[in-house]
Structure 1
Amino acid sequence: MKGGQGLMTAQWLDRVGDWNPQLFRELKGRLTRQSAFLVTLAALLLQFLLGSLVFESGSDPVPVFRILNWLLPMMLFVLGTVLLMTDLEQEERRGTLNFIRLSPQTSQSILLGKLLGVPVLVYLGAALLVPMHIWSTLAANVSLSFLVSFYGLLGVACAFIFSLALLSAFVGRFSAGQTNSLGSTSALVTALLVGLAFLPIYMNWNQLTVWSVWLSGLDTGGVNDLQWFFLPIGGSPAIAHSFTLLNAGLGIYWIWHILNRCFRSPTSALLSKRYSYLMTAHVELLLLGFLVQSSVSLNATSDWFSVLLCFSLVNLIWFGVLMLLLSPQRQALLDWARYRHAMTDMASGARQRSLISDLIGGDKSPVLVAMLLNFGLVAAILGTWVFLASGEAQKLRLLAGLLLSFTLLAIYVAIAQFATLAKSRQHTLQVAVAIGGVALLPPLLLVLAAQGEPTHAKELMLFSPLLWLVLDDVSATAIALSLLGQLGLLGLLTFRFTQKLTELGASETKALLPGRDTAFRARPRGAD
């Protein structure tokens, strides 16, 4: 009998190996009898404790139902994230990650094998809790349709979180050259963020919108008036499901686009510039859709400033991530500066792209132009909303605040570009320190100056992302002068970066080709 079971297991694993060799490798190494026994024992013990809770509460299954609704996602999200990120760190330490890259499998097949195989014991533990979850659902008089929605959304959420965990591991290695200890710390920090931030958002969103029709009898009130561009998400489970699945699917698509790039070409920029414009439009329209409904009640200028301050802080985080994803490595930048004029389209033999086209869509070119286009896209979306929804007396000052905000973001990008030219592998930390210092300096100076009661201390905040806190208290002249000063600083930083990039490219070329530097002198005027 045991021999027959072993033969069936071997045949099953062989089929898995034919479909996805990487998944076969993960299952063979992790799904052992000892590990399966320990997971089964832990699941049985947990179910015994939950069963004891039912008897202690007078045979009330609702507490168990609620616990399992939170426990299953938490177990999958947190443990799966830790396992995936530490697995990639171990592959890197052993040197097997590059070996896997050389295999004939596609990057998508390899990463899918990781995603399905590495957390297999977590999947097993969750599966063993499903029978008790079904029982508690029925005992709590909740429809089985809820379980279909619950596990469908849970699968999509796992695909999103685990893909994001893989991406975090790759981005960490790309940006900081992590040591083994830092890699493990990054996994724990990411898992902590997932448990404390993503899990509550995921559960509260679903309880208040997607599952509200089933959980209404359990004192879980829904948000019936929630709208996105006046689409009634809170009042319709069908719309709530469609909206949630569509945006989760788009998020997974964006993440896998980046994963495939950084796995097969780890020296390239993590995200193509052309995709960044689509991602920015998706993020901004998603945020704006929820604000359109509330803008009807935004009458006071202070209300507008509060909303736009929140929007600005979210965009600061988003564009920080986008900057990290778009930035090429130092060597790629230097190669672009040295050889751009000699590059041709290898497929067609055509002449190289124009400088503007390369700055807009090239993977090795500097990111400032692409980031400016992203800023312009967001400014157009927000500016249109502000222009149409705000009062006549508010329009000019609100639009000026948006312009100041995006000029500041452009300055931060220009500062960050200098860090990419440094030889240090900790350039991400340097970028964070530099931008953090520049952003925090005006509020700090304001605090120090306020002790002496200066007459123009608030104008300092116009050089900070928190400018919305003082925008209504400063004069139009101060706003105009601040904007001119920021534009001048942006132009100076851009000019100095261009000079520095050209100097580094020329100096490395001379070092590589001594005596042949005349071949790389400036091209004649009028050359592309």
Structure 2
Amino acid sequence: MMLNLIDKIGDWNPQLLRELKGRLKFFNVAIAFATSLLLQLVVFLYQLREFPGDRYSLTATYCNLRQVYQQQQNRLYQQSNQSIIDEFNNFLSNNFCPQNEINWQLWWRDHWEYIFLSFTVIFGFTLLVAGTYLLINDLAKEETRGTLNFIRLSPQSETSILTGKLLGVPSLIYLAVLVAVPLHLWAGLSAQIAFSYILSYYAILIASCIFFYSAALLFGLVSRWFSGFQPWLGSGAVFLFLLITFQITSSDHSGTSYNSTAWLRLFAPWDVTNYLFANLFHLNKGSNLKNLQFFYLPLGRGFVSVVGFHLLNFGLCSYGILQALKRCFRNPQASIISKKQSYLLVAFCQLITWGFALQNGNNNNTWDEQVAGNFVLLVVYNLVLILSLIAVLSPHRQDVQDWARYRHQGVSNYKSVWQDLIWSEKSPALVAIAINLTIAAIPWLVWLVLTSVVDANNGRTEIVNEIDRFKVLLTIALSISLMMIYATIAQLILLLKTPKRFFWAIGTLGTVMFLPPMILEFIGISSWKYSTVWMFTTFPWTAVEYAGVTTVFMALLADLSVLALLNFQLIRQVRLAGESATKALLAGR
């Protein structure tokens, strides 16, 4: 029977069979079983440390006489007679709750609940951190041994190979968790937790494993330069993320759900776990997810909407990572995403971040106040997103050279140069970055338009008058021009013949973007005092309030002039790169 099962696994997914054969050895399986059983025993015995014995206090939680003695104690404290209070406390210390007055049913229910919640947290950390480490470490070993290239040449599809990796590499972790699942399930049912809630937790945990494991595989494929440090870096980042979100959820910051950081917290299982099991962090206020909104839609009102939105978020993000994995697996030199996919990614990120930014908080904030409260977060999200796309989409010298040299021979799939610049992966990324910046700017423009409509309909003084509105529009254009300048600089550096061009581009952009603001702050040139100077930095928004319309307009003209000069140089470099070797030799280059 076992041989038939193995044959079926091999027929369905040969890569999975390869992974299982290498890991499910008798000694490894025995260690996984023993570790899981030992952990279950430790958790069970640890929860028995407060077992109500013969010396159980009369005022302890599970004593049925607790309320009577506490009321008597409160009355004595109100009388302020110290001698009587001391005598009563002495009586409590020398007398204990009778065994027949202990609420054993409630004690066992809480005991099983503690066990259930303990394993709930242990499962999350173990699966996500240990599984991430194993997957990245496996890819690093395959790369070192050279066997990863043989797998790439396999006739199996990318989906089949990656599924085999996801299911096979952490198989011992799965085994250890599965051995503990019966106790976890029994403890949850004994604690009178709804079976549907327990199944929902398992679904969320499986979805989060798929997301983090897919991200781990992608990280392992694109970060080969870290060598042996890859597993520790990837799993350490996951552990730090889980730990921070765990602390945030346990400390119950009630305002966190009312801004766009709520999306980041959806990737950790703690918020939804606290929503399903209210006693996870012993918080009296309940979960923040009860007040969660998305474009004012009350997602947190119902159990189905909360769990469904989490699963939808994990599903969409995992699908996006899977597409990136398919691109990078067969061709390690390919970019993570294509230009077409980048447009969808930016649109998706704008939809999600703005959806969580527009929520009615505890104070029923207005439209403008909600955007103002999320302003810094939205700017930072977009800044990180666009810089990442610049790094991913900008092609290197050889790709640009091939595109410029052979495009006119009909090698390209597109008829015009503009179509090439928009869709082709080997063409310079300036037009694609401009399109992505436009997509990112659309919500801000919609906000400006709708703000005036809302203000007019409410019949109150406009928060943003016409002059300020024009200034904001100019500042948006200024930010776009700055990002285009950075994208052009990065593309110019990637066209050089020097080695390590990618690291040179990162270093140059980092210096250009962050060194000037740091120097200005260090020497005391603040944005409110010298707004004109700050208009030419990466953060012009900090000086908009103190700058005039003319200042912003002149800064925009200066940036556009610099952008034009850089693009003229870029066009010249692309043409030179596209020349044939014979033509370059005859021209003396």
TM-score grouping bracket, smaller chain normalisation: 0.7 to 0.9
Q: 1:482 aligns with which of 555, 563, 584?
A: 555
* Pair 1:31-2:24 in alignment: yes
Q: CA deviation at 1:106?
A: 0.9
CA contact (8 A) 2:527 2:534 kept: no
Q: 1: CA distance between counterparts of 2:574 and 2:480?
A: 24
* Pair 1:87-2:138 in alignment: yes
Q: What is the one-letter code of the residue matched to 1:164?
A: A
Q: CA deviation at 1:377?
A: 0.9
* Pair 1:50-2:43 in alignment: yes
Distance 1:386 1:247, change over 3 A: farther
Residue equivalent to 2:186: 135
1:391-433 alpha-carbon deviations (Å, 9 max, x no partner): 3325333333332222222222122213322456644433332
Q: CA deviation at 1:104?
A: 0.9
* Pair 1:320-2:387 in alignment: yes
CA contact (8 A) 1:449 1:457 kept: no
Q: 2: CA distance between counterparts of 1:103 and 1:454?
A: 58
Aligned sequence identity (%): 33
Q: What is the one-letter code of the residue matched to 2:21?
A: K
Q: 2:375 aligns with which of 296, 305, 308?
A: 308
Q: How does 1:308-457 map to 2 (within 5 A)?
A: 308-344=375-411, 352-389=414-451, 391-393=463-465, 394-423=468-497, 426-450=500-524, 457=530
Moved more, 141-150 or 392-401: 392-401
* Pair 1:502-2:564 in alignment: no
1:215-265 alpha-carbon deviations (Å, 9 max, x no partner): 279534343332101211111222222222222211111111111111123
CA contact (8 A) 1:268 1:363 kept: no
* Pair 1:259-2:325 in alignment: yes
Q: 2: CA distance between counterparts of 1:431 and 1:395?
A: 35
Q: 1: CA distance between counterparts of 2:479 and 2:265?
A: 30
Distance 1:162 1:188, change over 3 A: same
Q: 1: CA distance between counterparts of 2:527 and 2:330?
A: 57
Q: What is the one-letter code of the residue matched to 1:132?
A: L
* Pair 1:9-2:72 in alignment: no
The structure with the larger Rg is: 2
Secondary structure of residue in 1 paired with 2:290 = coil
Q: 1:271 aligns with which of 337, 355, 362?
A: 337
Distance 1:307 1:485, change over 3 A: farther
CA contact (8 A) 1:228 1:290 kept: yes
CA contact (8 A) 1:411 1:490 kept: yes
Q: What is the one-letter code of the residue matched to 1:382?
A: W
Q: 2: CA distance between counterparts of 1:455 and 1:130?
A: 59
Moved more, 201-210 or 441-450: 201-210
Identify which of structures 1 and 2 has the higher relative contact order when contacts are C-alpha pairs closer than 8 Å and 6+ apart.
1
Q: 1: CA distance between counterparts of 2:309 and 2:367?
A: 29
Q: 2: CA distance between counterparts of 1:67 and 1:493?
A: 58
Q: 1: CA distance between counterparts of 2:545 and 2:510?
A: 25
Q: 1:248 aligns with which of 308, 314, 317?
A: 314
Q: CA deviation at 1:517?
A: 6.1
Where does structure 1 lack aligned partners over 5 or more consecutive residues? 1-7, 347-351, 522-528
CA contact (8 A) 1:410 1:490 kept: yes
Q: 2: CA distance between counterparts of 1:160 and 1:197?
A: 14
Q: 1: CA distance between counterparts of 2:528 and 2:205?
A: 56
CA contact (8 A) 2:23 2:171 kept: yes
CA contact (8 A) 2:197 2:276 kept: no
Q: 1:64 aligns with which of 111, 115, 133?
A: 115
Q: What is the one-letter code of the residue matched to 1:502?
A: R
Q: What is the one-letter code of the residue matched to 1:92?
A: E
CA contact (8 A) 1:268 1:364 kept: no
CA contact (8 A) 1:309 1:466 kept: no
1:189-222 alpha-carbon deviations (Å, 9 max, x no partner): 2212212225626579655457625427953434
Moved more, 118-127 or 487-496: 487-496
CA contact (8 A) 2:125 2:242 kept: no
Distance 1:204 1:61, change over 3 A: farther
Secondary structure of residue in 1 paired with 2:289 = coil
Distance 1:247 1:386, change over 3 A: farther
Q: CA deviation at 1:143?
A: 1.3
Moved more, 66-75 or 114-123: 66-75
Q: How does 1:222-233 map to 2 (within 5 A)?
A: 222-233=288-299
Secondary structure of residue in 1 paired with 2:427 = coil
CA contact (8 A) 2:528 2:543 kept: no
Residue equivalent to 1:349: none
Distance 1:267 1:397, change over 3 A: same
Residue equivalent to 1:158: 209
Secondary structure of residue in 1 paired with 2:505 = helix
CA contact (8 A) 2:400 2:577 kept: no
* Pair 1:187-2:231 in alignment: yes
Q: CA deviation at 1:367?
A: 1.0
Secondary structure of residue in 1 paired with 2:11 = helix
Q: CA deviation at 1:323?
A: 2.6
Q: CA deviation at 1:384?
A: 0.6
